[in-house]
């Protein structure tokens, strides 16, 4: 079997052999973009190279980039445990051309690697193009020999990428793998495309135009290529499984959590083990890159991820903190490719243990409150926002943990009510400070806290840079 580690190596070797500089993954906390919470695509560390702000000694690069999509514009947190293809942490394999080769070579490389080097049967693959991109359509016919019925023109923004309102932009072409008709789902562009049958494995972005104030003003003088392929998705394909969570890395992590909790991963426990394995990876890699659980900012996103996994550990009947005991299994799987993981192992284990110990002190009481509150409720009902707020405020349940807890019973949470309760508490705190005769300094502190989103950090959704999709 081709291991995920082999696939990473083989991808980098292929592009290295084609004149690409092999660039190590950048840390998850972006150093060149304060509006972005976490690196969420392989191109992020190269943003300034694409815009011309920065030059490098090479004009072709390849990487396997650590990515987290758990907040902001790309938020896959709610998908984890429920789709076969989404993670909060994943690795994006990419090849990049900075004003060097363009569409024809990008498609040739992708096709050669997938079908010749890796031997994926051509008839399992479908490509999409932006609806007006005749050039890409014709290249797919010419290079891959794909029949027209398997080159799908997509008119939506899904197939048009832009770095923001200003800067490079252009059409994309996505490559989908068909796992077979025993899996539910339809081809891209169809109403059933969100099923797990046709899975997007690779996105090729053709940076072709220059945009100003959201309007295309001309062709780029130096056209560029940015591609991204989720390693976990292509590992599923190459390992002959239909689900990312059945690949080698995830099987090892899930086996470890099954062993430690003395449970299997059947029935309701399936999603729990998947959430634990996924969130373990994002938690460990974030801590290794210097993020610690906190009540705001990046640290709050991390805390939300950790606590959600910890609730699932509790659901599985874990009587004591579990997450830190899974770290060695992760280091075994990924420590060779990412030495920072092994270096930070003591800090990661300590951080997870402390967080889980703390959270477990209120978790059981919070879950009891939640059970009582939902006792009279049924499918399709909505939990009052005030209850969700109490769980947050008193028991340390991040909002989305409550949502996740109710999801299995098809119940929702009243988000507006939760936000209102939060706003009310903030106003009350502010009024109390006013009445206390404290100095203006506290006032300023409240202003800052509110600007930053206070303790409930919901991401940079409104301001996050657009240049975050590959």
Residues lying near Mg ion in the complex (CB under 5 A) are found at 200, 203
**Does residue 179 touch ligand ATP according to CB under 6 A?**
no
Using CB under 6 A as the binding rule, whether residue 81 contacts ligand ATP is answered as no
**Does residue 422 contact residue 456 with C-beta atoms inside 8 Å?**
yes
Contact predicate 265/70, CB 8 Å: no
Distance between CA atoms of residues 342 and 357, nearest Å: 23
State both tokens at 145.
């020999």
203: contact with ligand ATP by CB under 6 A: yes
| Distant-in-sequence, close-in-space partners of 414: CB < 8 Å, separation ≥ 6 | 382, 383, 384, 385, 388
Residue placing its CB nearer to ligand ATP in the complex, 230 or 454: 230
Tell me the two tokens of residue 250. Answer: 């995830």
424-432: Cβ within 8 A, 24+ apart: 425/389, 425/393, 426/450, 426/454
Give the torsion sign (CA, 174, 70, 311, 376). Answer: negative
What distances in angstroms separate CA 256 from CA 1, 149, 246, 324, one per listed residue? Answer: 20, 44, 14, 12
How far separated are the first and last CA of the chain, in Å rounded?
A: 29
Closer to ligand ATP by Cβ: residue 150 or 360:
150
Task: Please state the closest distance from residue 243 (CB atom) to ligand ATP, in A.
Answer: 12
Among 188, 230, 293, 385, binds ligand ATP (CB under 6 A): 230
The residues, ordered by sequence, that sit 6+ positions from 400 with a Cβ below 8 Å of its Cβ are 77, 78, 304, 308
The bridge status of strand 167-178 relative to strand 198-212 is antiparallel
Binding mask 15-54 for ligand ATP (x = CB under 6 A): ----------------------------------------
Residue 233 interacts with which of ligand ATP, Mg ion, none, CB < 5 to 8 Å by class: ligand ATP
User: Which residues face 71 on adjacent strands?
Assistant: 74
**249 binds ligand ATP per the rule CB under 6 A:** no
Provide the minimum distance between the beta carbon of 71 and ligand ATP in the complex, in angstroms, as a whole number.
Answer: 12
HSE-CB for 69 with a 13 A CA cutoff:
22
Q: Which residue number, 188 or 366, has a Cβ lying nearer to Mg ion? A: 188
Name the minimum Å distance from CB 89 to Mg ion.
14
Residue nearest ligand ATP by beta-carbon distance: 230
Q: Which does 403 bind (CB under 5 to 8 A by kind): ligand ATP, Mg ion, none?
A: none
CB of 110 to Mg ion, least distance (A): 13
* Nearest residue (CB) to ligand ATP, 301 versus 342: 301
Question: Is 202 among the residues that bind ligand ATP (CB under 6 A)?
Answer: yes
Specify the residue, 274 or 325, whose C-beta has the smaller distance to ligand ATP. 274
The verdict on 469 binding ligand ATP (CB under 6 A) reads: yes
229 near ligand ATP, rule: CB under 6 A: yes
Q: For residues 92 and 154, which CB has a smaller minimum distance to ligand ATP in the complex? A: 92
Interface residues with ligand ATP (CB under 6 A) are 69, 76, 85-87, 90, 92, 200-203, 228-230, 232-233, 469-470
């Amino acid at each position: 079997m081709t291991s995920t580690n082999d696939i990473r190596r083989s991808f980098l070797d292929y592009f290295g052999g084609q004149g690409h500089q092999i660039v190590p993954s950048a840390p998850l906390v972006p150093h060149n973009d304060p509006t972005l919470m976490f690196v969420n695509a392989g191109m992020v560390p190269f943003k300034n190279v694409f815009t011309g702000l920065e030059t490098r000694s090479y004009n072709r690069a390849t990487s396997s980039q650590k990515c987290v999509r758990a907040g902001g514009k790309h938020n896959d947190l709610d998908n984890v445990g429920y789709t076969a293809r989404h993670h909060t942490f994943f690795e994006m394999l990419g090849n990049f051309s900075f004003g060097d080769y363009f569409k024809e070579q990008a498609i040739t490389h992708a096709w050669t690697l997938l079908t010749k080097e890796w031997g994926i049967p051509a008839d399992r693959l479908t490509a999409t193009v932006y609806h007006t991109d005749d050039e890409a359509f014709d290249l797919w016919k010419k290079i891959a020999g794909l029949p027209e019925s398997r080159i799908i023109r997509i008119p939506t923004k899904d197939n048009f990428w832009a770095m923001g309102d200003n800067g490079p932009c252009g059409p994309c072409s996505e490559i989908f793998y068909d796992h077979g008709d025993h899996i539910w789902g339809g081809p891209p562009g169809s109403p059933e495309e969100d099923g797990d049958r046709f899975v997007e494995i690779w996105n090729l972005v053709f940076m072709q135009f220059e945009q100003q104030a959201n309007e295309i003003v001309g062709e780029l003088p130096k056209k560029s290529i940015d591609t991204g392929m989720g390693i976990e998705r292509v590992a599923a394909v190459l390992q002959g499984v239909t689900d990312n969570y059945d690949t080698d890395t995830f099987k090892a992590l899930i086996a470890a959590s099954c062993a430690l909790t003395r449970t299997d991963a059947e029935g309701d426990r399936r999603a729990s083990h998947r959430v634990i394995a996924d969130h373990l990876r994002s938690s460990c890699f974030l801590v290794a890159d210097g993020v610690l659980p906190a009540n705001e900012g990046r640290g709050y996103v991390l805390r939300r991820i950790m606590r959600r996994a910890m609730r699932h550990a509790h659901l599985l009947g874990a009587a004591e903190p579990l997450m830190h005991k899974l770290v060695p299994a992760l280091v075994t799987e990924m420590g060779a490719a990412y030495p920072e993981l092994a270096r930070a192992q003591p800090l990661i284990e300590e951080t997870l243990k402390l967080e889980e110990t703390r959270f477990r002190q209120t978790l059981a009481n919070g879950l009891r409150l939640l059970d009582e509150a939902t006792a009279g409720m049924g499918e399709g009902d909505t939990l009052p926002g005030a209850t969700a707020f109490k769980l947050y405020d008193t028991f340390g349940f991040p909002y989305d943990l409550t949502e996740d807890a109710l999801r299995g019973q098809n119940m929702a949470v009243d988000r507006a009510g939760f936000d209102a309760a939060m706003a009310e508490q903030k106003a009350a705190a502010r009024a109390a400070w006013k009445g206390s005769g404290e100095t203006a300094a506290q006032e300023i502190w409240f202003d800052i806290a509110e600007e930053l989103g206070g303790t409930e950090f919901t991401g940079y959704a409104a301001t996050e840079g657009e240049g975050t999709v590959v």
